[in-house]
Structure 1
């Protein structure tokens, strides 16, 4: 598998998620210009992270599935000058995504970085908001884990595999989380699972495995909401410092609160 870094002590991974870009560069989601907010988040990463070993884009890069939206994402994130991996979300269209990823390794699902292996799973189901991991994806995961027993492992997907405490999001997460955890539970070298989709920060532990979700680079969903509700928190990203010994440090960073605003009257997106 390709290595994204030769650093031996620790590596820095940045997660960008749910950018929801459009073919039009001034496209808006719930009143927010999503390309502008992505560019602001990328600028923040550049200010805060002097060196990035890997960028993970964990789904819903696009809102409209257009080639232009993926090219815009590629252009915006190339400023980070780091190896990058994309995985699809429920708003993404795989064919245009793959076209925009030509001549790159953006869609390679397994990458070794430092003393870690990162596996990116496709939980998107065409025409469906909820996610599902097909047998092929579960087999990919089992193979990636079994072939690297001496590495620490981070597993990424788009849909949430556990409840995040938002009633309206309960039906639109991963539909077969038991199948995912049945694989993960077989491998003690799994350290963390990371996802997008929920547009909010989440950080819990399940049997010593860290479970994390992250804010969107555009609009945010209100935590602990029974019905669809937007939050006024600013766009942001998650950073993960992966240490050689398997320890993981992580945090969420957001742009200035008053930089962007959203239309809080919206009833869905």
Structure 2
């Protein structure tokens, strides 16, 4: 499929790959390299028409160089992508290994996609540093005439999973106050929660993406996994600022998640 000249910006969101040092690594009973490659195989016909793949963190399970090298080998050559770190990643190492450097802003037609860093070394939960918020404010001030989509690892909104809601962006109120001054922000897309969720927060839609390996059980009070297969989110950003988006799951694999896993 070739790129269509219809003014629509097409984005694929991949998240929470949790790759290990080699193709044998498993987590919660899932070979994460195998599941990631299965998702990419499903996307084979879509990627040529895609304007960007947005990778929203936790590329690695434990921040290992070999995991990022594995990711690079798996991604189809020539695929445009932008990434940000998750709480399982090593941000400084990623910046030296990934062939695509960290990009704060990607401009596509009438849209600006802004990538935020919510991961804090040594912490599971999210936080936007003061400098991160200040830079975001300046970028938004410079882009008042463009539609804006934000990408970040941790969500700022609750998703009705008690244990995950404790890990959302801790200073989400400061983010909400900042965004109140910029009406061009159309949506925020996050990772971390291993499920395709949609809600409204601070006056804007907030979407999360499923993991490319295993999913957390929706509505769970404590850590719990479910049987949903690997997945991804597709995003269509229209010239008038409207957004079409949805999630797809990639089944048909013999792998079975270990529901007895008590953490990751």
TM-score by length of 1: 0.93
Distance in 2 (CA, whole Å) between partners of 1:8 and 1:181 is: 33
Q: Distance in 2 between matches of 1:260 and 1:234?
A: 9
Displacement, 1:48? Answer: 4.3
Partner of 2:192: 197
Whether the 8 Å CA contact 1:6–1:114 is kept in 2: the answer is: no
Shift of 1:260: 2.6
Q: How many Å apart are 1:227 and its aligned residue? A: 1.0
Q: Choose the corresponding residue for 1:91, options 55, 69, 88.
A: 88
- For the Cα contact (< 8 Å) 1:8–1:114, is it kept in 2? no
Contact map agreement 1:88 1:158 (CA 8 A) in 2:
yes
SS in 2 for 1:268: coil
User: 5+ unaligned residues in a row in structure 2: which ranges?
Assistant: none
SS of the counterpart of 2:263? Answer: coil
Distance (whole Å) between structure 2 residues aligned to residue 35 and residue 258 of structure 1: 13
Does the Cα contact within 8 Å between 2:140 and 2:182 map onto a contact in 1? Answer: yes
User: Would you say how many aligned residue pairs link Structure 1 and Structure 2?
Assistant: 262
2:175 is matched with: 180
1:32-43 to 2 correspondence within 5 Å? 32-43=30-41
Q: Distance in 2 between matches of 1:133 and 1:6?
A: 36
Equivalent residue in structure 2 for 1:51, among 32, 43, 49: 49
CA contact (8 A) 1:191 1:208 kept: no
Contact 1:192 1:209 in 2 (8 A): yes
Could you list the structure 1 runs, at least 4 aligned residues long, displaced by more than 3 angstroms after superposition: 5-8, 47-50
Matching of residues 12-161 of structure 1 within 5 Å = 12-48=10-46, 50-79=48-77, 81-102=78-99, 104-105=100-101, 107-161=102-156
SS at match of 1:218: coil
What are the superposed Cα offsets for residues 56-79 of structure 1, whole Å, 9 maximum, x if unpaired? 110000012111101111221234
TM-score under structure 2 length normalisation = 0.94
Contact 1:21 1:63 in 2 (8 A): yes
In the alignment, the residues of structure 2 paired with residue 236 and residue 64 of structure 1 have an alpha-carbon distance, to the nearest angstrom, of: 21
Q: Which residue of 2 aligns with 1:231?
A: 226
Cα RMSD for the two superposed structures: 1.7
Q: Which moved more, 1:176-185 or 1:54-63?
A: 176-185
Deviation at 1:204, TM superposition (A): 1.7
What do residues 213-241 of structure 1 show as CA deviations (whole Å, max 9, x unaligned)? 01000010000001111010010100101
Decide whether the 8 Å contact of 1:88 with 1:94 is kept in 2: yes
User: 1:229 and 1:169 mapped to 2: Cα distance?
Assistant: 10
Contact 1:201–1:215 under 8 Å retained in 2? yes
Aligned residues of 2:4 and 2:49 also touching (Cα < 8 A)? no
- Displacement of 1:47: 3.4
SS at match of 2:237: strand
In structure 1, list runs of 5 or more residues that go unmatched. Answer: none
